[in-house]
Structure 1
Amino acid sequence: MKKILFLSICILSVLSACKKKADGYTLTVLSGNGQSGEVNSTLPDPVRVQLLRGEEEIGYKQVKFETSTGQILTTTTDDQGIAEFTWVIGCEAGTQTASITALDPGVVFATTVANATGTVPASGWYKPCGIPSTSLYFAFIFQSNSGKLFAAGNQSVYASDDHGKYWYEVSGLSGVYRMKQFGNTLYALSNNGILRSQNDGIVWQSWTPLAATELARNNSHWYATRGNGDMVYSDDDGVNWLNCKGNYTGQNLQFMFTSPNDIVVGASPTGLYYFEDDSLLKRYMLSDNTLGYYESNTLYFGYQGNVQSAQDTLFTASGPYWNFSAGSGASRNLKKYNGSMYVSQFADLYKYGTSGVFFSSPQLNARLLDYVVLSDGAIILSYEGIGLVRKQ
């Protein structure tokens, strides 16, 4: 009766939980404990442990190495009872731990713990975890209202739930070149049409087959631009799309905004436009304007080539707002985060209210494609030919 009772307890406790602790064994860290290394890098020395029973060296036993940041490795002790592991520091600065266990099926011989410290590089930036080393191009970075991050590179889309420290590939999405959010719904613009998600990007479903480069909404009206220069609108939730009338003849509307009075503003290399009564009408004759944002009835955008100062100039609809010397190249991606205004220019990121470069690194001498500034001050950046980097 006692044997039957013991067997039942083991089954109910899950087989792995029925492992017995063997007596007399010790597992000791010989070397590699207490090291430090930059986050998302390999420690210089392996962690070496030895399994003993008394003074007897126990060989050919399995040893499992599991870190607090998710690295799991298994190996076997040699004839001297020694096993070693290469420890990859995760993307958390500070103390990281490794639980090391010597075991056989159903038996735990001994356990021990090793520690390491993750440090942020002196430059302040590092490549986050989860992104393949071959992913060197991310056209955009997008942050949903919940704080979840998305980035699209090559054909894949990656997401992060922890402020850009760890990333994972999103299933059901490919070829995405822009994402937007309206209300609680996310929209992904791709070569295969527009998909949407109503659970913060976990599940995606097709919304419309329209291949759009930009998307905007005002109440029940939808507006979209296409790569050939067309601008279309829909009043039936994307079922049917009609061409807008007007005098727009450019090839690329770069971005769109909606205002309370049902105007959509688009910027292209040939000027700024507004949308009214199903027509797209020219309003500002400005060339080389850059991405901006719309807030409190004011449009903010960058403009390269001020003939008086030969400087890049930030404009609002009412006139000059901010001037700074930015060297060669055009300003890109004007955004607002945490109450401050940011604008990128080649490899640098400028912050409103500062006289110089807010973020720049000689090691990242590449074109800055996009960026996101997080609520805790961290910045996620996408560099051409480098991929995603994170600065704390």
Structure 2
Amino acid sequence: MAKADGVAVITVGGLQDLLQAIRARGYRVVGPTMQNQAILYDDIESVDDLPRGWTDEQDGGRYRLARRDDEALFGYAVGPQSWKKFLHAPKLRLWTAERSGDNVSVTPEAEPDDRLASIGVRACEMRAIEIQDRVFLGDLYVDPHYETLRARALIVAVNCGQAGGTCFCVSMHAGPRVAQGFDLALTELLDGGEQRFLIETGSEEGRALLEQIPHRPASAVEIEAGDAVVERTASSMGREMRTDDLHELLTSNLEHARWDEVATRCLTCTNCTLVCPTCFCTSVEDVSDLAGERAERWRRWDSCFTMDFSYIHGGSVRASTKSRYRQWMTHKLATWIDQFGSSGCVGCGRCITWCPVGIDLTEEVRAIRGCDAAAEESQ
């Protein structure tokens, strides 16, 4: 963590003041809320909208909310949604065409005007945003909608105080401490019965916001307490995965028997790709009215687990469950590196939690390597 003179302390009331100050600057404020028995990201107006005193219990194919024995506002891991939902929309109209007589006019979709303030962004999610920045902004072809939303975004990150049952961000070097990319970063302290937050600034916008709210410098003891929170989280990951040899391991084992075994369990339901914070595959479809006078082109999230995704004239390139699961896992952990220079996995564990049959990415890697869990942990 930064030196004591670079870290401030705010109270819960100060956090409320921060939300008001952000809104006063014209941002749409989105953060964690409790809906449908899960932690979901939605518009918030005050700290009372946050999941105070709740946590999540996660394992393969299992997610439950449970009461904590304190009033933590960010005392959970991650829910089924990621910030991808707001920056790379599940459904986006690209253009509209209208016919009047013999004339046809095509109108591109207007750029979004939202200024999004994301509250409670975890380290793994911050890393996922950085990965999607590389996908959508880092090449010759730039996604204009993503570019506009990203340029206007404000990020209030939170260092994790609790690891989930399927978390393995430490293995992926993606957490639990937020290292960069944020405007403000919080660490929730609950020791001694006094609830407060360490707050660090990462941008001029973040510094300007901090100056608008009541705060005081953090003491050395509070800095150490914040470090202890993150260290405790890092040492209690629900999963682990060795990563130093993943590229060679997966690309040299494309016919490993484990692909056949996992195919007997995989439902190709696409859950893992939909909850993943970095998956970016889309399809495009055109719709028109019955009179043929108006047509629209829409972009929608898609998944490499569907038969249609790899369809070309004559059939699907990946017709079997085995080939589709292998495509997803080898791309995420290996060939993504060839394509974008980094792994596509941030260790958030969502693909494990939200798989209906509990397929575990880390377990599949161990099986292909031929190690048991104990042997891998000792390496």
For this structure pair, what is the TM-score category when the shorter chain's length is used for normalisation?
Answer: under 0.3
Task: Give the number of the structure whose alpha-carbon radius of gyration is greater.
Answer: 1
TM-score, structure 2 as length reference: 0.22
